[in-house]
């Protein structure tokens, strides 16, 4: 039997995949040739959610704006937004929002740090 998520061969009677931890939903012995397993692995591991991560990192930084800590959320927002665009993820709106808000947060963070250094 093979894992439906990663294509790893699963021992008979196992409840979870040893490699990725996915629950085994069916106890049938499924025969899969190695070409299909490799295709299945590639399809599942190329699915990322950088756009969603970028979006939520950028949004998380907004409420913490006044203390400067939230502005640091611009770093992962910018990185994940750029990765989402590079990987051509389907959710382009979230990727661009995360990237733009992340860049704005980074610019504000630099200004915040400059103001602290200048006044010290």
* pLDDT over 60 at 111, yes or no: yes
pTM above 0.85, yes or no: no
- Give me the numbers of helices (H) and strands (E) for the chain, helices first please: 4, 0
For 15-56, write each residue's pLDDT tens digit: 788 777 777 765 444 455 555 555 555 554 456 788 888 888
Q: What is the b/e burial string over 16-28, where b = at least 16 CB atoms within 10 angstroms of the residue's CB?
A: ebeeeeeebeeee
Q: Residue 11: what are its φ and ψ, rounded to 5°?
A: -65, 150
Residue 68 pLDDT grade (very low, low, confident, very high; cuts 50, 70, 90) = low
Query: What residues does each domain of the chain span?
Result: 1-47, 50-119
pLDDT of residue 29: 47
């Amino acid at each position: 039997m093979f894992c439906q998520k990663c294509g790893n061969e699963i021992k008979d009677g196992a409840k979870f995949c040893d490699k990725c931890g996915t629950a085994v939903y069916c106890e049938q012995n499924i025969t899969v040739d190695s070409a299909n397993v490799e295709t299945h692995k590639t399809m599942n591991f190329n699915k990322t959610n950088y756009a969603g991560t970028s979006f939520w990192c950028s949004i998380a930084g907004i409420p913490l704006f006044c203390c400067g800590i939230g502005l640091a959320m611009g770093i992962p927002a910018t990185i994940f937004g750029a990765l989402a665009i590079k990987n051509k993820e389907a959710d382009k709106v979230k990727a661009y929002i995360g990237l733009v808000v992340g860049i704005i947060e980074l610019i504000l963070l630099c200004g915040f740090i400059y103001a602290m250094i200048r006044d010290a």
